[in-house]
């Protein structure tokens, strides 16, 4: 990562790190991340309980899932705002690298390629070894369930999965956690570590290999550009491809 204190370096393809204030210190970022994640799970669970009740014979509709996600993401934003006020510049944009450039739109195409090609390459050997576990049908189950649960509100799926999730997850994982840890520890190890966390907290074992690899892509791009714009666009293209395949 290159900031104003360390100078700047031109990189090909518009990969020019943005000058920014020193990231929030690693300890504050780690405590904020863990605390916000735990509180967000409680908030989301309460929302589901209130809107869906305790009936476990049916799954919540996507509208309820979206409300739960909105509650969780609001928790993230509040926690990040507090950390920014306490240990940063007071600006979410500056402290977490939430900047976009015109070149970042290329990320949509990169995300599509990652979904159709990179992830397929990752799962080919796994499918060869365990065909019933890592079949393409099994891998698409989550996206298919989301689309099916939305019924007539597929626009809401697009809004949540293609817009909300990329923005909030990149802010939380790469903007808060990776950006701060990479300012203190080995950048490569931090990118790998955050990708591991990103894969594990989705709680979908079959998707862990793919989520880890795409997490590496998001992390590397955020690190090299010094901002979140392109990583968010890659994430959006990746998610959009999964949703379109489930339609």
pLDDT tens sequence across 8-45? 343 444 444 444 467 799 999 999 999 999 999 999 99
Q: How confident is the model over 180-205, as a mean pLDDT?
A: 95
Distance between CA atoms of 151 and 63, rounded to whole angstroms? 10
Measured CA to CA, the distance from residue 14 to residue 16 in angstroms comes to 6
List of long-range contacts for 8-14, beta carbons under 8 Å, 24+ apart: 11/224, 13/103, 13/106, 14/101, 14/102, 14/103, 14/104, 14/106
C-alpha to C-alpha distances, 52 to 4, 36, 62, 116, 121, nearest whole angstrom: 49, 24, 11, 35, 39
Question: Any residues with CB less than 8 A from the CB of 157 and at least 6 apart, and which?
Answer: 62, 146, 147, 150, 243
What is the percent of the chain where pLDDT is above 70?
90
For residues 192-220, one letter each, b for 16 or more C-beta atoms within 10 angstroms of the residue's C-beta and e for the rest, the string is ebbbeebbeeeeeebbbbbbbbbbbbbbb
Average pLDDT, the chain: 88
* pLDDT (0 to 100) of residue 15: 44
Yes or no: say if 103 and 221 are a contact pair by the CB < 8 Å rule. no
Asked if residues 158 and 237 have their Cβ atoms less than 8 Å apart, the reply is no
pTM: 0.88
Q: Provide the pLDDT for residue 135.
A: 84
Whether 177 has a pLDDT exceeding 80, the answer reads yes
């Amino acid at each position: 990562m290159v900031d104003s204190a360390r100078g700047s370096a031109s990189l090909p393809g518009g990969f020019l790190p943005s000058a920014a204030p020193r990231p929030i210190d690693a300890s504050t970022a780690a405590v904020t991340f863990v605390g916000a994640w735990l509180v967000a799970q409680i908030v989301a669970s309460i929302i589901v309980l209130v809107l869906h009740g305790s009936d476990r014979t049916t799954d919540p509709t996507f509208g309820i899932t979206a409300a739960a996600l909105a509650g969780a993401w609001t928790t993230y934003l509040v926690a990040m705002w507090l950390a920014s006020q306490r240990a940063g510049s007071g600006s979410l944009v500056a402290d977490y690298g939430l900047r976009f450039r015109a070149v970042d739109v290329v990320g949509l195409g990169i995300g599509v390629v990652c979904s159709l090609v990179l992830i397929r390459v990752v799962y080919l050997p796994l499918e060869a070894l365990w065909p019933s576990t890592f079949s393409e049908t099994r891998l698409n189950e989550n996206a298919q369930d989301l689309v099916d649960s939305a019924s007539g509100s597929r626009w809401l799926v697009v809004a949540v999965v293609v817009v909300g999730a990329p923005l909030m997850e990149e802010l939380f994982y790469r903007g808060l956690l990776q950006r701060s840890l990479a300012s203190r520890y080995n950048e490569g190890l931090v990118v790998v570590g955050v990708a591991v966390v990103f894969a594990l907290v989705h709680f979908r074992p079959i998707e862990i290999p793919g989520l880890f690899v795409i997490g590496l892509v998001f992390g590397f791009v955020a690190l090299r550009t010094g901002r979140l714009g392109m990583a968010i666009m890659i994430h959006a293209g990746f998610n959009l491809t999964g949703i379109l395949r489930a339609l």
